[in-house]
Amino acid sequence: MVLSLSGVRKSYTTTEGTIEILSGIDLDIAASESVALTGESGSGKSTLLHLAAGLDHPDSGLVLMGGQDIASFDDRERARYRRTQVGIVFQQFNLIPSLNVAANISFHAKLAERYDPIWEATLTKELGLRPYLARYPEQLSGGQQQRVAIGRTLAARPPLILADEPTGNLDEATGDTVLDLMLSLARSAGSALLLVTHSSRLADRLDRKVVLRSGRIAG
């Protein structure tokens, strides 16, 4: 398994008290498998992705990545994990403003020591980014920036891609096109994909759909 969550629980404490958001999550994702994660707003989808990314810790339960317990990693191992094993595409593009498009795309691939100019040329062509390689993020539209963010993640060919409503800032038609592209390119890269999406049309194109409801994974 690329990712395996078992018995994962997570609560948040605020001034209003403590609420349990995840109440025993069991989820396995195999190599190259694509899984759509849906659920009502506030059901804990982003919380689950943060745990899978090693950005936060569960209260109890296990998050295994390639069979390894990420809670057991020290800071160096966790940084290495984020650099090489997992790619994250969130709604905020988080491009590096001082780097042009070409450099933004190769940045993570180089960090992960998986820089491959031929794959990168394929990505920039498929994503329609060839005309913009010398531009800086602020000189791009939202849709173009999102395609750069996706290209950057795919360029590193991570074993697992976590995508949290990655096209939430785009209009529906553009968002669907970009997600379609991300799905087919993730397949080419051999990356597993856990994608939070509201588009049932898109969810249908993934290998499997799971729903987060009352803190648990249903169907």
Interface with Mg ion by CB under 5 A: which residues? 45-46
> What HEC string does 2-35 produce?
CEEEEEEEEEEEECCEEEEEEEEEEEEECCCCEE
- 12 is a contact residue toward ligand ADP (CB under 6 A): yes
Within 34-73, which residues bind ligand ADP (CB under 6 A)? 39, 41-47
Pairing of strands 34-38, 192-196: parallel
* Contacts with ligand ADP, 13-32, as mask; x by CB under 6 A: -x------x-----------
The contacts found for 71-80 with CB under 8 angstroms, 24 or more apart, are: 78/54
Q: Are 95 and 148 in contact (CB under 8 A)?
A: yes
| 43 interacts with, out of ligand ADP, Mg ion, none, CB within 5 to 8 A per kind | ligand ADP
| 44 interacts with, out of ligand ADP, Mg ion, none, CB within 5 to 8 A per kind | ligand ADP
The amino acid present at 93, given as its one-letter code, is: F
To ligand ADP, the closest distance from the beta carbon of 105 in angstroms equals 27
23 vs 46, beta carbon nearer ligand ADP: 46
Pairing of strands 160-164, 86-89: parallel
DSSP 97: T
To ligand ADP, the closest distance from the beta carbon of 56 in angstroms equals 8
45 vs 82, beta carbon nearer Mg ion: 45
66 vs 168, beta carbon nearer ligand ADP: 168
| 169 interacts with, out of Mg ion, ligand ADP, none, CB within 5 to 8 A per kind | none
- Quick one: CA torsion of 50, 211, 20, 59, rounded to 10 degrees? -40
Cα–Cα dist 134/155, whole Å: 17
| 137 interacts with, out of ligand ADP, Mg ion, none, CB within 5 to 8 A per kind | none
| 18 interacts with, out of Mg ion, ligand ADP, none, CB within 5 to 8 A per kind | none
178 vs 196, beta carbon nearer Mg ion: 196
Cα–Cα dist 127/148, whole Å: 8
| Other residues' Cβ atoms within 10 Å of the Cβ of residue 176 | 16
57 vs 187, beta carbon nearer ligand ADP: 57
Residues that bind ligand ADP (CB under 6 A): 12, 14, 21, 39, 41-47
